[in-house]
Amino acid sequence: MLIIPAIDIKEGKCVRLTRGDFTQKKIYLDNPCDMAIIWRKQNAKMLHVVDLDAALTGEMVNFDRIRDIVNVLDIPIQVGGGIRSVAAVEKYLEIGVSRVVIGSAAVTNPGLVADLLKKYRRSQIVVGIDAENGIPKIKGWTESSNMMDYELGLEMKKIGVERVIYTDITRDGTLEGVGYETTKRFAEKAGMKVTASGGVSSSEDLHKLRSLESLGVDSVIIGKALYECNFPCQEMWYAYEQGLGIDGEFSTARRKECCS
């Protein structure tokens, strides 16, 4: 199962939210590009980057920050957050982004997804379904849609979408465990390739998700659990970084040292 570290950008900084609540924001690094370098050093094969400001406004607020990440890394980058037009998709793909994630627009303007699939490869267009109790939320998770998560998945599948990033909002950023049952239900009903997201807290969660591979769940996005150093192997990685000790902490100072 492919593990994809997440980098969420708010006001130019690398942050994590809890259940998508913008009032529960924790800043991990001032420069998201430094964070991207850290995850690459720790052998990440892909990164998931979200422009949180764009998710609220629809404007590509952190475009320059994302371009910096793409330019400095040698691995695929998928980007989401407020992508609601062909022009926005084109702008991201032109700078070397590998996949764009369509979230709110998949609900409010499904024709956009259909148009994108006519212009670009299916591997380049991914739909993000962020659900709370089975109901997709849109516009930075501030509004609810009028359909179930699997109904949206099936609608997207019908127009040619192959992959969905499925996030259980009730778990996201909580470190309370992955939304196993909700992810399983969605995967069973939608029959698509699924990247799981939200709540992963430990290696046990990863083992649980692996049992869903036969249903199409082949990858997982991990955020806060990586930032809070919840995986034992992370201590090993830090040990090989010059000047870093194994003390169980992952402070901002250590992150900056790792990138220097």
HEC sequence for 165-197: EEEECCCCCCCCCCCHHHHHHHHHHHCCEEEEE
Catalytic residue, from 53, 130, 172, 205: name it: 130
In whole angstroms, give the CA distance from residue 252 to residue 259. 11
- Highest mean pLDDT (candidates 24-38, 169-183, 222-236): 24-38
CATH number given to 2-259: 3.20.20.70
For 120-134, the pLDDT digits (tens) are 999 999 999 999 989
- The pLDDT assigned to 21 comes to 64
Is the pTM higher than 0.75?
Answer: yes
For 66-91, the pLDDT digits (tens) are 999 999 999 999 999 999 999 999 99
Residue 183, Cβ density class (10 Å: 0-12 exposed, 13-18 middle, ≥19 buried): buried
**Predicted confidence (pLDDT) at residue 148 exceeds the cutoff of 70:** yes
b/e sequence 204-231, b meaning 16+ C-beta within 10 Å = ebbebbeebeebbbbbbbbbbbbbebbb
For 165-223, the pLDDT digits (tens) are 999 988 766 677 788 999 999 999 999 999 999 888 888 888 899 999 999 999 999 98
Domain ranges of the chain: 2-259
In whole angstroms, give the CA distance from residue 163 to residue 165. 7
- The pLDDT assigned to 243 comes to 46
Q: Is 8 a catalytic residue?
A: yes
Q: Is 149 a catalytic residue?
A: no
